[in-house]
Structure 1
Amino acid sequence: MGQSLDWMPSGAKVVTAHDRKTEGKCPLIVFYEKNGLERSHFSIEEPAEVVIQALKWNCNSELLAALVSCGQYDVIKIWSCSNNHWYLKQELRYTKKEGVKFSWDPTKPLHLICWTLGGEVIAHRFAWTTAVSETSVALVIDGLRILITPLHLGLMPPPMSLFYLAFPCSVNEVCFVSKNSKNHLTAYLSNGSLCVVELPAADKWEEFEGNGITVDPCHCDFSLNNSMHLTWIDTRTLIGICRWSDYCSSTPMRSSEAGNLEEKHDSLFFVNEIKLVCSEDCLPGSVSSSGWQARVSKRMPLEGPVIGVSRNPAKGGSAFIQLSGGKIVKYCSELRMTAPIQSGELCPDYDFPTSCPSMTAVPCHENGVVRTLLLGLDDSSKLHMGKRLLSNNCSSFTFYSSSYGATEQVVTHLLVTTKQDLLFIVDVNEIFLKNGQVTIDSHVNKHPRAKPSKEHITVWEKGSKLIGVLHGDEAAVIIQTTRGNLECMYTRKLVLVAIVQALVQRRFKDAMDMVRRHRIDFNMLVDYCGWKAFIKSAADFVKEVNNLSHITEFVCSIKNENVSGKLYEAYISFPEQCSSSMDSENLHGALSENKVTSVLMAIRKALEEQIEESSSRELCILTTLARSGPPLLEEALNRIKVIRELELHGVDDGRRKLYPSAEESLKHLLWLTEPEAVFNAALGLYDLNLAAIVALNSQKDPKEFLPFLKGLECLPPAIMRYTIDLKLARYESALRNIVSAGNEYHADCMELLNSNPQLFPLGLQLFSDPDKRHQILEAWGDHLFEEKCFGEAAITYQCCSSYQKSLKAYHACGDWRGVFTVTGLLNFTKEEILQLAQELCDEFQALGKPGDAAKIALEYCSDVDRGVGCYIMAREWEEALRVAYMHSRQDLVDTVKDAALECAAVLISEYQEGLLKVGKYLARYVAVRQRRLSLAAKLQSEDRFMDVEDDNISEVSSSFSEMSAYTTRSTKESSASVISSSASKSRGSRRQKKAGKIQSWGGDGTSGASQGDVSGHWCAKRA
């Protein structure tokens, strides 16, 4: 054991160095538990002669730094542990003359302070960077190696990888670019050299599985000491940030702050533009790292320290540089300068309010225009879009693009994880539309971690972070747990976005595959743009999917519900024309019910046109018939009947082999629908043999169906069809069949009509014999009379000359005109008409119809006195005067005048009485209203004082009780008046008692009753 020793700040273990010079091996770093047992160890991969001078943990126990003395230089190595593997993440080299020492910042875990014998102090500020490219290629730095895994081929948690690149010395920084099916990787090594690797398209990397590829450094005519933030701005151009110093050759990974430096130049930081040229041709499908040459073509000063660099995705040859404090400048290779951001080039408010170590620039669409979205995450977990705060609780973020097959992916969604381990997926368009400060996690407190919500997803392992996504149809979110494992999540929102994108691009096969893979409702394929639009594309759908089993599964899942307005409305937005049309369909009902039938009819037609004849196609067509609403079982059985006839005739041609057997088809149909419904449909075809086959295959009891079928077989054909129709409740067909059976079954026909009155119109059409038509009409009239449709019954009786029944029907409905019309048809005498008129006059007077009674008395009884009296009862004063003057009866005129004056006096008296009541109620209502307002003001002022005397409490309690059911006080005021003392309890009891006593006149109930009385009296006076 060496002299270097350091306790982990968390106290879990202690680290020390183990010298193995005697064995001729490099030193080990060994970890011990508190009890002294060895926990683990790893090799530093250096020669055996090196000496580990110091070991130090950072303040959060995540990073371990070691000062190693080598032959010609001293080096500071920094490791991190993940998935039980120690990764060498950074190596800082110093000369022996400098005599470097180091120490971690006691409060900032990613700050390392180094100092030399010459008095130079350098503070290194590191930041974790997730090296997952836009094409979902994961890169992991592990000392001399870079582990490479294309995530779309499989999830391999580090330290596992698809293959790795081996370098001459430790890698400090790596950058990756993919364009035009070519991938370029650049690695900056700890000795200041640069390595460039050209890789083929990612779909050809499977042949490299498990291999290690050695990389040669490129030829450089310059030294890259102090270079950081390497970024591709083109496939042959890099930029890097250089710190000018004549005394220090360290190469920090992130922005650094130099202290005690002699300022020999106006600026301490520069942008180096590096041009790359390859003198050798790369073989297709191979990895090439030789023949590369690098030179610094441009060098431009910067205003201050650099926090981050991000390539401009909207324009090649440019990048965004973040200076200390969050200021953003743009580097342009063509202009040979750095300039402030122009208006409109980035989203508004492009400068960050503070330094953001994690910065990403991505292309997006804003109102149809491609813009660059620049986001930054600062050290306090705040996510910024320029000066706008998107989240104040962000732990990691990434982007998703729904583009399929596009060379330049435009992002559509922002993914954010919070410290509460919640994953938010936000549409980029929603970010542009909202102008508030916090738009993503402002409602986190309203949703506890364990409570499910459609607005976010709960990440199941605490501390997990986003490392990337699989774009396009994959729609996968990849997170890394604190232990280092990788997890893949298929969120419902991104999956639906990918399906919608496929539907918009008419990639029906891809959409179908995603729906099946992620168990999305198949109705999504139909409802997104509306089932009417889907019907027009049914042929393309069937042709592209071209898988009968998948189409059958789709057919079986179609239903009349609209998932756009129920199941998935919270995840994605549906087209407005689709939602409005579906709303109208749901309102009317009929169109919504036709969705299944119409879609399946279009699918069936497309199957017959696009797919060659086969057994699977026939079964799929039978499925469309069986799943229609209602099921088209008779059409399906007709197709099976054709197959059965081919089998019975012994036809053995090529066409017969393209169809399934009749038994297989029938079993398929029985599996899809109720056996009883199929049996009834077979009976409806009047094919008893087919019905018997259906019954046998549906496992019906032969004792039940054989006697029934034999009985039907013995009947005449028309009666057999009539009996079957009666069983199936097909009454119209039954009526036609019983009529065709002959006159001997006329009694059965009348019985059928009487039991099914809706058949009377059809019965009149089927019979031409006048006697039978009259019989049907009379039966129809009897039915209407029983249903109390007296007017229709009277007319029906007249059609069949049943005048007595017609007279009775007119009398029952109170149609005195119809009654006297029928008396003319029956040739009543004057005496009979007079007697009938007097009876009707008495009846109408008793029924409260004096107007009709007056007309009957005048027209048929010639009784002027009675007629005028009835008009007076009806208060038809003008008509009463007209009749009195017409017959020159002055006595009747005086009678009418006296009755009118008496009626007017009564109405005036009632109006005056009502007016007095309304005035009283109005005054009462105003008094109650004023009292309530004064009591409310009094209580609000008194409840502010919590320490009141008992007498005052009693007074307030009494005042409150007089308010009765007053409920307009706020919850805060009510809670403030409650005191945990005996006085408050007694006050509550007194409130309840007094509230019960004065309820009748003081509160809401009283005012409501007053309003009801007032409105009631006004209505009465208006009448």
Structure 2
Amino acid sequence: MRSLEVLEYTSTPLKGTVQHNHCLIATDVESSTVYVALQDSQQAIEVRCLQEPDLGFMELATTMGELVQFTFISDIQAACLATRQGDILLIYKERFDAGQDAVEVVGTVDSGIHAMTWSPDQDLVVLITGEKKVLVMTQDFEPITEFPLHVEEQGQGVQHSVGWGKKETQFHGSEGKQAAQQKVDTSKFTTSADDDQRPRIAWRGDGSFFVCSDIDPRNNARVLRIFNREGVLQNTSEPVDQLEHALDWRPSGNLIVSSQQLPHRHDIVFIERNGLRHGQFTLRGKDQHVRELTWSADSNVLAIVLEQDHRKFVQLWTMNNYHYYLKQEITLPDDDVLAFTWDPETPLLAHVLGRNQYHTYRLNWDVLTSTSTHHENAGYVAVIDGDAALMTPFYYQNVPPPMCSFKAQSNKPIQQVSFVPDAASCRMVTVSERQLDFFDLPKNGHGVAKLTASLTLPSAQEELSGFPRHVTALSENEVFYLMYDEASQSDTMCLARLNLDEQSIKLVSMKPLNGRAGQVHYNATNCDLLVETTDGTVYDVKLDNEELAYLPLLTLPTFCPWIAIAHVGLADMQERVVIALSDRSKLYANDRLLSSEATSFFLRHDWLVFSTTSHTARFLPLDVPFDHFKLSDNVPDANDESHRRVERGARIVLATQGKSNLVLQMPRGNLETISPRAFVLASIREDIQQLNYRSAFTTCRRNRIDLNILFDENPQQFFDNIESFVKQVHEVDFLNLFLSNLRNEDVTKTMYKHGDQESKVDEELLANKVNKICNAVRQVLMELDQDQYIQSILSTYVRSSPPDLESALSLLAHIRESSLAKAEEALKYTIFLCKADSLYNIALGMYNFPLVLMVAQQAQMDPREYLPFLQELQNLDTYYQRFRIDDHLERFEKALHNLSLCPDRFDQLIDYMVRHELYLVTLEIYANKPEQKKIVLDAYGAYLDGKKAYEEAGIVYTMANSLDKALQSYKSAGAWREAFTLTKRLSFSVDDIQALAYQLLDYLKDKRRFQEAAAVAMDYINDLEEAIDCLLKGSHWQEATRLAYTHNRVDVMDTHVKPALIDGYTHMDEDIDELTSQFSKQTARLKELREKKPEPTQVLPNDDTLDNIDMFSDTTSMYSQFTRYTQASSRVSTVSSRASRKSSKQKRRDERKRARGKKGTVFEEEYLVSSLKRLYERASNLQSDMGNLLRALVPFEYVEEARTIQAKFDSFLGHLKEAMPTIFVPLKLIDTQYGSTEEMEEAKKLTADIEKPVIAAVQWKLQIL
């Protein structure tokens, strides 16, 4: 869908008129200097520098013969010239530019030189001598090999047929099988009448092969022979009748191009390296003679030098989607093309030599479409193909190229296309040299292009040369264009005013430009006209009283062939921003770099969209402040609307203004229309803002956008206009779809976050969002028409959270009273929404037997399953009947209530209570009935004893006044205070109390509740030494000391307290050493493990050969780039399928492996971090014990011991705090341990990040130490 436009044009007058017939051009790439060798009919040779016609002029002897080859050799800074007589000359640049004698004769081939070509790297030169021999030499003209050109051998790569695809096996249509037996008589093949009878040589772009074309004397037909770099024959072309002399090899290497003259047409034919034909296309003119063929440096454009009516011109052809387009035709008015060549380094830069002037054309690819961002823009794209513009309105239809909706036909080859903005009808102007053809286009894309006017641009001043460039229709009455001024070597802006009704046109203004223009852009929406010069300066052009004026707007970092202007910012604070894309894939907004990997871009009223070399489309909103107009640094997720993956190599054709469509073109040429989420969501938001809920709903439905956005985008507006929403989306099915998709989630925050926009759904509303919407919609529907919207009303009940099925069934029961048929129909829909069993159970729980029967019948339940039960229920008393129903539905609390209302069923109630553990419910029922309450409490106490909740059991028994049972429960719980309290109520003797005290003492010591044990020993046994011993075992040093001194037992200090204190110090010191050792080992292993983790797999470079997939069939099995370079691919499918069948036993085994944290396993890191976390928690808990120990050691004058252990523990805690940030970081699994994504994900589910521990702030240290 792209066309070639002339970005930049220059012309340089030659000194005198060139009367020479034979010209060759050579280019010095480093200095961008172009030289030409000229030869007249007398064989006099001149060498000129085209950029400086007054400098660098040289005449050579006339005896050298006809020019054969002229090339500039960069390594030696000299031009190599060869003549047919056999002379090879070097003309040195430095001496030539200085006007000195620069010619050096390198040597002479005695038999003459008929063809000569240098290799692309200029290391080798190949020539064909007059003896029809091929001579290969080095850059220093040292011979490498010499061999005859015409041999009988076919070459090393000759094709050997094994019978596959033979002609005899093909379908021949109406000709029948006899067509396969017809033999082509190649002996009659001959040369074309236009053939110049001279040999040609062409190299492949990489310099690996070259091809020679010459007339084989054996059959007088032209034959191509392909040789490798060493001069070994590889292949010979198949016979082609009337194959002509023109020859070139596409730099990319896949095709050799030549021409073929047939009686009824003139073809450009393509030949593969193996010598076989590979397609062709036909020239469209009559009586045209092909003189030369040459490919551009990027292999995209084929230039054909043609001669017709004794005048030469150049046609530029391109191929896309297997169709050849004539994109440009270069003619020189009042002049003739003597020589044409592409620049060897700069793609699409052409050098053209005429008799009077030297011209350069810098071409560029661009999509020809309207720049208007108005919603009614039909999205027309024009594709230039000769004298026709192929038109497709993408707003209405997507026609795959090379087809189109219709053609705009001109009588001359079209060079430019411009769309008229703001016209009453869609209007377009085509440019053919100075001819402007105006076409009216059908608005809806159906119809034909009607030619309404054909005008000729007026001639400007004489010094303005060339042709009108960048012709831009500013309105129906004004046309802007550029002309080149040879005198100032710059461009001049021109403005012409026209009247289509009167078929008149007038030049009204001219303004010289400061430099040469490279691009022009006109924003049809805001009437912004920009002109960019080749140095990157962008000028803002205005029309003041029919006079053109311009001011510099900004200077881009580099010249950008593609520019546009956008208005960025909020509605009241917009600023003009120039969007520019360089040929180096750098996308700029003014002088700010947006992306360094952009391949194309397009402006859609509120969006900038561009494609990238990483095969993505990026979307930037224009309605943001310019400071925020940039790509986000965040990694895009699945819901990121500013990022979308596209097919490899896709480029943007256009984005339709009135629809949310983006048209992309693939490298081969096929089109794809997508609806990017950014465009779709923008359209939905705009519709919601305008209360156009139906359009927003249909857009969501068409593009699979979550329907919650209709509410979440503006909740209050939705509630305020709920009736309008229902009336717009009035179809029952649409309302049901909306209700069924509701959920308590704000999708504008989770899925469709738009920039920095804050959520409009508060937390309180979000928690009950579904219910509120259902209630609001239900209220509106019931007011509008309950009968019509009965299904949607039922949907509101079912979609409530939790589902309000009982209300739905109540509504059905109400409808059943007036119309059984309507009720049954509504019930069918309700059964569709939820499970029939649930409806049956809820109807049963409503004790409505007619409703139960209707649900069972509509759900087609087996009567044998429900009728016996229903019949049994009919014979029971009311409350017992309800008890049975509730018990059947497992509504046990409700069943218990109904059972309590049944007389003489208390024993059954107690059994039912015990079976379903409904003790608290039963206590509420019998709260005012003491006898029944005591029975319930005893049963509850027994239940709690069974659950080992002894303390609570004791409380329940106490409430029931079962004191003996309560005492036993308290003993089991170790609740010694409550137990001794009950001894008084049970009138225990002193001996009984002491016996109970010994039992509780042993229990408390076993449970390490030493302080409580000491209280029991003192209060109920009166054993001081036992009490002190218990306190010392619990490290309650100060309490033990206090107790000893309180009872005047100073002797205990030496016999009990001090030895225990020394033991406590020793144990604490050992614990610190143990923790320190564990910490050192585990942190060292963790560091080693993390440092040895493998680096992430490097991203492989893109393989451009994958683009050419024509050789593969649809069923060809291909390895991905990943599997080509890994050894894991062979086991992926096996491991993947095995992972899904992993048994619970295997999972338990994995859990055990994870808990063990075996060295080298994937879970080792998690195990180490978890173990260290427990170490931190233990150290934190030790602080209190350490503080108690220090405060006990110092009073007994163990000062050195206290100082030593305090310093050791303080140092240990310091190491812990220092290492915490490096230990507790997010865990990373080692991917290479797994053969499939499924196992990796399963391991990640088992492994969770470990929270960082907290070391409690405890004042444990003593300042005196």
Corresponding residue for residue 1165 of structure 2: none
Corresponding residue for residue 242 of structure 1: 483
Task: Work out whether 1:844 is the aligned partner of 2:985.
Answer: no
Say if 1:313 and 1:362, in contact at 8 Å, map to a contact too: no
Corresponding residue for residue 890 of structure 2: 729
Deviation at 1:188, TM superposition (A): 2.5
Task: Work out whether 1:170 is the aligned partner of 2:342.
Answer: no
Secondary structure in structure 2 of the residue aligned to 1:661: helix
Task: Work out whether 1:298 is the aligned partner of 2:489.
Answer: no
Alpha-carbon displacement from aligned partner over 1:119-156 (angstroms, at most 9, x marks no partner): x1111111121012243221223343333322010101
Deviation at 1:711, TM superposition (A): 0.7
Say if 1:195 and 1:216, in contact at 8 Å, map to a contact too: yes
Alpha-carbon displacement from aligned partner over 1:358-398 (angstroms, at most 9, x marks no partner): 22223332797323332333344444444444444443332
Say if 2:896 and 2:909, in contact at 8 Å, map to a contact too: yes
Change (3 A) 1:189 1:856: closer
Corresponding residue for residue 327 of structure 1: 537
Corresponding residue for residue 193 of structure 1: 435
Deviation at 1:294, TM superposition (A): 3.3
Corresponding residue for residue 702 of structure 1: 863
Corresponding residue for residue 80 of structure 2: none
Say if 2:268 and 2:280, in contact at 8 Å, map to a contact too: yes
TM-score, with length taken from structure 2: 0.58
Calculate the aligned-residue CA RMSD, in Å.
4.9
Alpha-carbon displacement from aligned partner over 1:214-253 (angstroms, at most 9, x marks no partner): 2312486656962211234456443211113xxxxxxxxx
Alpha-carbon displacement from aligned partner over 1:660-710 (angstroms, at most 9, x marks no partner): 633322222222222221211121111223223322333333222111111
Deviation at 1:308, TM superposition (A): 0.2
Corresponding residue for residue 309 of structure 1: 520
Corresponding residue for residue 3 of structure 1: 194
Picking from 752, 759, 762, the partner of 1:577 is 759
Corresponding residue for residue 699 of structure 2: 514
Mapping of residues 900-915 of structure 1, within 5 Å: 900-906=1053-1059, 909-910=1062-1063
Picking from 457, 467, 478, the partner of 1:226 is 467
Say if 1:272 and 1:296, in contact at 8 Å, map to a contact too: yes
Mapping of residues 751-900 of structure 1, within 5 Å: 751-758=911-918, 760-761=920-921, 763-765=923-925, 768-819=928-979, 821-822=981-982, 828=987, 832-846=988-1002, 847-848=1004-1005, 866=1023, 870=1027, 873-874=1030-1031, 893-895=1047-1049, 897-900=1050-1053
Mapping of residues 77-226 of structure 1, within 5 Å: 77-96=315-334, 98-105=335-342, 107=344, 108-118=346-356, 120-134=357-371, 135=377, 136-179=379-422, 183-190=426-433, 192-197=434-439, 204-206=443-445, 209-218=446-455, 226=467
The runs of 5 or more residues in structure 2 that have no matched partner are 1-191, 196-243, 372-376, 1096-1167, 1190-1265
Mapping of residues 611-622 of structure 1, within 5 Å: 611-615=784-788, 617-622=789-794
Change (3 A) 1:819 1:920: closer
Change (3 A) 1:366 1:523: closer
C-alpha separation in 1, matches of 2:1001 and 2:425: 103
TM-score, with length taken from structure 1: 0.71
Deviation at 1:435, TM superposition (A): 11
C-alpha separation in 2, matches of 1:757 and 1:721: 20
Task: Work out whether 1:364 is the aligned partner of 2:568.
Answer: yes
Mapping of residues 405-804 of structure 1, within 5 Å: 409-410=605-606, 412-418=607-613, 421-425=615-619, 459-460=646-647, 463-471=649-657, 474-503=659-688, 506-525=691-710, 538-559=722-743, 573=755, 575-577=757-759, 594-609=768-783, 611-615=784-788, 617-647=789-819, 661-741=822-902, 743-758=903-918, 760-761=920-921, 763-765=923-925, 768-804=928-964
C-alpha separation in 1, matches of 2:950 and 2:315: 105
C-alpha separation in 1, matches of 2:1029 and 2:571: 78
Corresponding residue for residue 14 of structure 1: 258
Secondary structure in structure 1 of the residue aligned to 2:444: helix
The runs of 5 or more residues in structure 1 that have no matched partner are 21-26, 245-260, 279-288, 343-349, 402-408, 586-590, 649-659, 886-891, 934-962, 974-1003
Secondary structure in structure 1 of the residue aligned to 2:904: helix
C-alpha separation in 2, matches of 1:379 and 1:794: 87
Secondary structure in structure 1 of the residue aligned to 2:898: helix
Change (3 A) 1:166 1:752: same
C-alpha separation in 2, matches of 1:965 and 1:53: 74
Letter of the 2:814 counterpart: V
Change (3 A) 1:373 1:8: farther
Letter of the 1:837 counterpart: I
Say if 1:58 and 1:106, in contact at 8 Å, map to a contact too: no
Corresponding residue for residue 302 of structure 2: 63
Say if 1:475 and 1:495, in contact at 8 Å, map to a contact too: yes
Change (3 A) 1:614 1:142: farther
Deviation at 1:16, TM superposition (A): 4.7
Say if 2:744 and 2:769, in contact at 8 Å, map to a contact too: yes
Say if 2:439 and 2:451, in contact at 8 Å, map to a contact too: no
Deviation at 1:495, TM superposition (A): 3.6
Secondary structure in structure 2 of the residue aligned to 1:755: helix
C-alpha separation in 1, matches of 2:496 and 2:363: 24
Deviation at 1:1020, TM superposition (A): 6.1
Letter of the 2:896 counterpart: L
Letter of the 1:577 counterpart: S
Deviation at 1:903, TM superposition (A): 4.5
Deviation at 1:309, TM superposition (A): 1.0
Alpha-carbon displacement from aligned partner over 1:175-210 (angstroms, at most 9, x marks no partner): 1243387544333332x13344566xx7x434xx24
Change (3 A) 1:844 1:110: same
Change (3 A) 1:291 1:726: farther
Change (3 A) 1:838 1:492: same
Alpha-carbon displacement from aligned partner over 1:783-819 (angstroms, at most 9, x marks no partner): 3444444444444444444444444444444445544
Letter of the 2:879 counterpart: A
Corresponding residue for residue 494 of structure 2: 272
Alpha-carbon displacement from aligned partner over 1:843-888 (angstroms, at most 9, x marks no partner): 33322367667767887x7x8x547864675479999999999xxx
Secondary structure in structure 2 of the residue aligned to 1:478: strand
Secondary structure in structure 2 of the residue aligned to 1:126: strand
Change (3 A) 1:777 1:535: farther
Deviation at 1:271, TM superposition (A): 0.9
C-alpha separation in 2, matches of 1:181 and 1:241: 27
Letter of the 1:417 counterpart: T
Letter of the 2:577 counterpart: L
Picking from 271, 284, 289, the partner of 1:44 is 284
Say if 2:312 and 2:338, in contact at 8 Å, map to a contact too: no
Corresponding residue for residue 557 of structure 2: 353
Corresponding residue for residue 956 of structure 1: none
Greater fraction of residues in strand: 2
Corresponding residue for residue 579 of structure 2: 375
C-alpha separation in 1, matches of 2:576 and 2:817: 69
